[in-house]
Amino acid sequence: MLLCFLAAWPVSTVKAYRARTAKGTSLGFMMIVEAGYLCGLASKFISGNVNFVAAFYVINICVVGANVALYFRNRRIDSSSGTRLDSTSKSVSECAGPILCDAPRFRTVFSDLVGT
C-alpha cells in the first residue's frame, strides 16, 4: 500500500504544479492523509519496530507536504487571477451531493435537468 501511494503522490504533485489552480484539490483530505502517515510513523517508533517501512512513511510525508505547499501556492495564484473557489463556482457534476453544493443553485440546475 505504501509503495502504491509512494508512486501516486508524486504524480499528484506534478499535476498540481502544472495545473496552477487549487480548484478540485482538497486540503482536508491531504491533512487527513498526512495525519495517517504521521501516526503510522509514530507507531513504528513507539513499538520499537523501526525498519525500512519507516523510510516510506517519511518519503510519503514529504511528498504530501509538497502537495499541501502547492495547494497554498495555487490558492494564491487563483486569488490573483480572480478564480472563484467557493461552492457557488462548482457545477452539479463536481459536487459530492446537494449538501456540499450551494443548495439554491443545485435546485435550479436540477429542475432544469428534470424539467420541473
CATH for 59: 1.20.1280
Residues 99 and 73 in one domain: no
The three three-digit cell numbers of residue 40, written as one number? 503510522
Q: What is the pLDDT of residue 101?
A: 47
Which own/partner contact pairs does 48-56 have at CB distance under 8 Å and 24+ positions apart? 53/2, 56/2, 56/3, 56/6
Residue 29's domain comprises 2-83
Residues 111 and 64 in one domain: no
Residues 22 and 54 in one domain: yes
pTM above 0.75, yes or no: no
- Regions of the chain where pLDDT drops below 70: 84-116
Helices (H) and strands (E) in the chain, counts: 4, 0
User: Quick one: which H or E segment has residue 84?
Assistant: none
Q: What is the pLDDT of residue 58?
A: 96
Phi first, then psi, for residue 21 (nearest 5°) are -145, 150
Residues 51 and 107 in one domain: no
Provide the number of structural domains found in the chain: 2
CA distance 8 to 1: 11
Q: What is the pLDDT of residue 2?
A: 84
Residues 91 and 75 in one domain: no
User: Quick one: which H or E segment has residue 12?
Assistant: helix 2-19
